Amino acid sequence: MHTFEHLRVNPERPQLRQIRRAAELLRQGLFVAVPTDTTYALMCRPDATNAVAAIKQFKKLNDSHLWAVACADLTMASTCVRLDNGAHRILKRCLPGPYTFILPANASLPRRIFAKRKDVGVRMPDHPICQMLLEACGDVLLTTTLSLPNSDEPAYDPDEFIPHLKHLGCVILDGGWGGLVPTTVVDLCGDEALILRAGAGVWPA
């Protein structure tokens, strides 16, 4: 039997009790649907094998899917990517915010998920619910946009997407309607910043 919990959370003043409950369920191996500063996202711990498999099945993702990692701060980000001085200055200026920065990966990324990838996307959402959850977890979480199967559009209405998720092992942090515009994706692996996708974040920032 799958565990499912629907936690309603104030998006401006999140209830700590609800956040701690979600963090505990993540530690137990569930995944979470959580609002960010752009869209709702699905997140789980990198070592949560069943949660990773459930998200991949739900979204029909193949093994080549480019997972990003969500971090509470730059110290946490530095555990999975390499930050030179230039990249550090850009991230410090732009984050938290509606950006995904592609950076060189370090050896700590789990090979089971990232295989031999040499880069990874880093997110640090500027949203109270998501920020508090990452702080409560104390570690990076895998993240991918919440969209319904066979849809390329982000799912923004909890009343719409919850029926599709409630049979899975997950927890919903329901902060009301989410956004529809994804992050701006910036590749910082080369000598110059390269915009891979224009989104909610203005660039140059």
What residues does each domain of the chain span?
4-197
Task: Tell me if 51 sits within 8 A of 45, measured CB to CB.
Answer: yes
Predicted pLDDT at 174: 98
pTM of the prediction? 0.95
Cis peptide before 98 (omega within 30 of 0): no
Domain 4-197 has what CATH class? alpha beta
Count of CB atoms within 10 A of residue 32's CB?
Answer: 25
Q: Which of 153, 151, 180 is nearest to 60 (CA)?
A: 151
CA distance 103 to 19: 29
Predicted pLDDT at 109: 78
Predicted pLDDT at 65: 83
Which ranges in the chain belong to alpha helices (H)?
16-27, 49-59, 74-77, 85-94, 111-114, 128-137, 158-165
CA–CA distance from 24 to each of 14, 41, 69, 110, 115 (Å)? 16, 18, 19, 21, 28
pLDDT, tens digit, 9 for 90 and up, residues 42-64: 999 999 999 999 999 999 988 88
Residues (pLDDT < 70) of the chain are 1
CA distance 82 to 103: 7
Predicted pLDDT at 1: 54
CA distance 183 to 201: 6
Retrieve residue 80's tokens: 């999975």
Predicted pLDDT at 63: 80
